Structures are given as C-alpha cells and as structure tokens.
Structure 1
Amino acid sequence: MQINAFYNREGIGDVLMVLLREGDRHHQVVERKDDVAIVKSTTGKVNGYNVFNASNYFDVSDWHGPVELTAELIETLGVILRKQNIEAELSGVDFTPKFVVGYVKEAEKHPDADKLSICQVETDQGMVQIVCGAPNVAACQKVVVAKPGAVMPSGLIIRPSKLRGESSHGMICSARELNLPDAPQEKGILVLDDEYEVGKAFEIGR
C-alpha cells in the first residue's frame, strides 16, 4: 500500500497531511472530526486525512516536507483514527526506502520514441522496468532509482505509469532532480561509482 505523508509547519501550520491516493482537488469533500479531517472524492472514496495539532500526537521536530513513514507513525495514526470511529485500512504499508541504488542490466531504445529507453533495472525489490528519457542511460550503470511512492524534492510523487505504451515502475534520477549540491545543469542521469551497493538507500537533498 502506497501512502505519502507531508508536514510543513511554516507553510500550512501544525498539520500532518496523509495522502492515500491523488484526487482532483476541485472535486473533493472534507469531513471534520475533532483533530482529523477526512478528505474524500465526490464518489465517497477516501483520498487522505489531515491531522491537525499534529505535534500533540507525533514528534514533529525533524519533519520538513515529506515525512518518512515508520511502523510507529502508522500505528499512532491508526489510534487517532479509531478514537474518532474512523474506519481505515492501513495495513500492508511499504516501509522500504524510496530512493535506492539500482543497476541497469539492460537498456534498449523505445520502438516508438527515439529519445526514450526501456531499461531493466535491479533494485532492492528485484528487477523492474523503467522507461528513461536521459541521453546517457546505458546498460551496466549504477544509478539512483526513485521507486513508486517516492516524493521528489520538487514535490512530484512517483507513480507507476505507461510511456508510449510501455510500463514504467519508477524513475532513474539526475543529480539535479535529486537536489544534490553542485548538480550539473545539462540533461543526464547520475551515474554512480562502483563502490555503491545495489539495493541500498540513497540519501537525497531536500
């Protein structure tokens, strides 16, 4: 289960925003129960929750933007929701790191797009297919993979998608996309040194 959480005290106040699925912001309804707002689509499907006065329930001292999900955070969130008689299915949450070192095993040109490559990439969760538009992507590279559910420094949430008919499960990242210091401005993915271990978490800038 993919869940994303965000906290920006300076921007929106002491509110933990929990996103279960992306919905049209102009076609949502909000139901408030004490410190919890339930955000629903107009069809009644729950898109997420806003927990107000979040610092009363969580240690928010290190929260600035995207919040790392932990079993403790999900358990506390479940307790808060149950106290308001809100039924929520929060099991099966993926706690694995969202930015990891990957290895490009194969890279072939997309049959319907000259600037795209279809890559088979080894990650901490096995082999995945990623469609990449970088001009320098090639087989036998160690790279940084943003997995589905990752939140980029720009705020973009990575989701499984299809590009020109080919499925893509993640993104191979450039240094600039990762907000790394002294990132080059020209197009191209970040190619890592051999010392990096495939499947290990990669720390990014925010």
Structure 2
Amino acid sequence: MLIASYNPAGMGDNLIVLTQQGTEYTFSRQGNVVQFINTNDEVIGYNFINISQSLDLTHANGQVFLSEDQVTILNNLITAAGFTSTLTVDDKPKFVVGYVESVEPHPDSDHLQVTTTVVDNDERVQIVSGSPNMKQGIKVVVAKVGAMMPSGLIIWPGALRGVKSNGMISSGRELKLPNAPQVPGALILPEDFAPVGTPFDAKSPAAQALFE
C-alpha cells in the first residue's frame, strides 16, 4: 500500500507517504526525511520535507499517485538519509466500479447492512454500508482499502459494530461530484456506465456528468 498526499496550502512543501495504518507511532528525522514507526517497530510512512527540490508537484493538491520513477527518487532520498526501509510502487486502482452482489441485515444495527460487493479482478469484498438506498443488484463506486477520499479521509480495513468492512460504497457527495445530492445515499451508477472492475475517475467527463 502506498498513499501519498501533498497539500502545500495546508501543510507546506511536504509530501506525506503512508504504507499502513497506525495511530500510535514514533518518528525519526534525518535531514529532510522523517520516518514514522509504529509500536511493532514497523515503518508506516514518511514525510519528505521541501519535496519540490526533488519532485515536480506543481499541479498536485491532495492525493498524489506516484509513478515508478517518482518512487525511485523517494527511495534515493530515504537511502541518502540513512534509513534502510524503502517504498514499493502501488499502481492498483483504489476507486472502481463495483456490483452489490448481496445485502444482509447487520446483526447489531437497524440501519447498517452488510454487503458482498464485486470489485476488480472478480474479487469479492465485505463492506458494511449505512446508505438508505442500498440494495442487491446495483452498480456502485467502491473506494477500496488504501483510497483517499476528496475530504482527505483514508479508507483502512475496519469494522462497524463488530462486523468487518473492507472498503466504502461511496456517494456522489463524498466523491464531490457536481450537483450531487447533499444527502446520505450511495451513488447508483447507470447500468451502462462501465463494466464492473473498471477504475473510476471522479474527474472524468462521464463521472462529472452523472448528476446533470
């Protein structure tokens, strides 16, 4: 997993890179590289300070999808700083067209439902959803584990009221699509929008026109 974020207005010229979830951690700084380590002595991420000296992120604002060449540059910075752990490219799509194959009531909630949802590569994931319009047989947008929502929320493996959930079925509002209803509810895609498993790009013309 590789989640990178660059927000110069809010955080200055710093590239934050996360490789796994961690709420408790220590850090070590060497030059312009800060390494974060969790309580199990595992590296969970880096902060690259003054990153514009090494990468051109002129047009970046929010999540950054790093190329293999860019990851190589970051690994060179890590090595030069004296750290031994390096980053691995993650080019798998994090937002995909999904299909809700089944829906079951949550055993400990009257408003949550447990779905089995097909994503890319015919993989099935369990996602707990609170969307009032959730039902079997619909196409949706799935934010997979490792996705960063436009709000900055990162999708990690988790559980809702004791039931495991690996991903999020997104609303148009959460994806910040133009004219999306500002109320709870999953974005139900037209049947002919795209095949199940297709990467979903919220900035594409097709996505931008969903609520016209």
Note whether the superposition's TM-score is higher than 0.5. Answer: yes
- Match for residue 9 of structure 1? 8
User: Hey, what's the Cα distance between the residues in 1 that align with 2:131 and 2:85?
Assistant: 40
TM-score normalised per structure 1: 0.88
User: Is 1:38 paired with 2:35?
Assistant: yes
User: Hey, what's the Cα distance between the residues in 2 that align with 1:23 and 1:159?
Assistant: 10
Give the drift of 1:168: 1.0
More strand by share: 1
Deviates more, 1:121-130 or 1:42-51: 42-51
User: Is 1:107 paired with 2:103?
Assistant: yes
Give the drift of 1:50: 1.2
Give 3-state SS (helix, strand or coil) of 1:72's partner.
Answer: helix
TM-score normalised per structure 2: 0.86
User: Is 1:66 paired with 2:66?
Assistant: no
Q: How many residues in Structure 1 have an aligned counterpart in Structure 2?
A: 201
- Gapped regions of structure 2 (runs ≥ 5): 204-212
| Cα gap change, 1:194 to 1:43, in 2 (>3 Å) | closer
Q: Is the 8 A contact 2:78 2:86 kept in 1?
A: no
Name the % identity.
43
| Cα gap change, 1:186 to 1:29, in 2 (>3 Å) | closer
User: Hey, what's the Cα distance between the residues in 2 that align with 1:203 and 1:14?
Assistant: 26
| Cα gap change, 1:134 to 1:42, in 2 (>3 Å) | closer
Offset from partner CA, 1:145-179 (integer Å, 9 cap, x none): 00001111111110111222221110001111111
Match of residue 85, structure 1, among 62, 77, 82: 82
Give 3-state SS (helix, strand or coil) of 1:199's partner.
Answer: coil
- Match for residue 183 of structure 1? 180
Match of residue 53, structure 1, among 26, 37, 50: 50
Amino acid at match of 1:99: F
CA RMSD between the two structures: 1.9
Amino acid at match of 1:113: S
- Match for residue 164 of structure 1? 161
Instruction: Report 1:120-139 matches (<5 A).
Output: 120-125=116-121, 126-139=123-136
Offset from partner CA, 1:129-153 (integer Å, 9 cap, x none): 1111111111110000000011111
- Gapped regions of structure 1 (runs ≥ 5): none
Offset from partner CA, 1:80-137 (integer Å, 9 cap, x none): 111222111434x532111110011111212221211111111114111111111111
| Cα gap change, 1:204 to 1:130, in 2 (>3 Å) | same
- Match for residue 197 of structure 2? 199
Amino acid at match of 1:127: R
Q: Which runs of 4+ in 1 moved over 6 A?
A: none
User: Hey, what's the Cα distance between the residues in 1 that align with 2:65 and 2:162?
Assistant: 32
Offset from partner CA, 1:4-60 (integer Å, 9 cap, x none): 111111222211111233444xx6543222221223346754332111221121121
Give the drift of 1:64: 0.5
User: Hey, what's the Cα distance between the residues in 2 that align with 1:133 and 1:40?
Assistant: 33
